Structure 1
């Protein structure tokens, strides 16, 4: 799994994006578990993720309403299958409103660009 940490900062909130190959829900759960072994990521406010598997799409907002759906939409457009992308946010104390969706999208774009995904 690859992680790009501290890629976005806005009003105290910080973002990272991670991902890697995952062909099943068990592999996604293992990737999330590996990520959370790092105490910083375990303490994150949100670890939103999505993947398109052979048996269909899966996602989890992890409390960041709509983030999983946005990640899923971007993976679908990129044609990235059997791969999980996780956007991590550490809440900084101020609401970001709609900017949070822009940050999630920017994080996924960075991941796709840096890994050649899609």
Structure 2
């Protein structure tokens, strides 16, 4: 399947590994396939990995203008070999307003109620025209309720990275400054 894409790089230069605490800005991934399997102009933002007791969570978000764009994006992500190997490759939720009608939906991809948690986050943050996908790689240890916190954290980071919600400035938080 031929396609062109701009990847968020993990390297500063070819062959040099990206340091963990680097301050360089991430690049948006732009996927545009010539085969037409993905809607034109979709830009996925991808968070850094969140690792907790060997389980890894990765958040992705993109702007959508119609609910019909959701299945091709999910299918494309599931076709990526690295994502397809995850225990829960596409936990997602979306909200999209077309005219005066608000369309919304979610799928937990086998991670009971996880899609509903992301949908609840989108509703609380009042974010529209967005698709949020979280991928979970199971690390061998059951996480219990902590997995929902991590899924929500990955989703929230993807929304912040994509500019769907404003980043909270640490210096403006109430009660956190010097008195």
TM-score calculated relative to the size of structure 2: 0.61
Query: How many angstroms does 1:23 deviate by?
Result: 3.0
Higher relative contact order (CA 8 A, sep 6+): 1
Alpha-carbon distance between aligned partners in 1 of 2:143 and 2:54, rounded to the nearest angstrom? 10
Alpha-carbon distance between aligned partners in 2 of 1:103 and 1:85, rounded to the nearest angstrom? 14
Task: Give unpaired runs (5+ residues) of structure 2.
Answer: 1-43, 166-179
2:114 is matched with 67
How many residue pairs end up in the alignment?
A: 117
1:105 is matched with 152
Alpha-carbon distance between aligned partners in 2 of 1:5 and 1:44, rounded to the nearest angstrom? 16
Counterpart of 1:94 (choices 141, 161, 174) is 141
Q: CA RMSD in A?
A: 1.4
Counterpart of 2:76 (choices 29, 34, 52) is 34
Bigger radius of gyration: 2
Alpha-carbon distance between aligned partners in 2 of 1:72 and 1:61, rounded to the nearest angstrom? 10
Alpha-carbon distance between aligned partners in 2 of 1:3 and 1:29, rounded to the nearest angstrom? 18
The structure with the greater share of residues assigned to helix is: 1
The structure with the greater share of residues assigned to strand is: 1
TM-score calculated relative to the size of structure 1: 0.89
Secondary structure of the residue that 2:161 maps to in structure 1?
A: helix
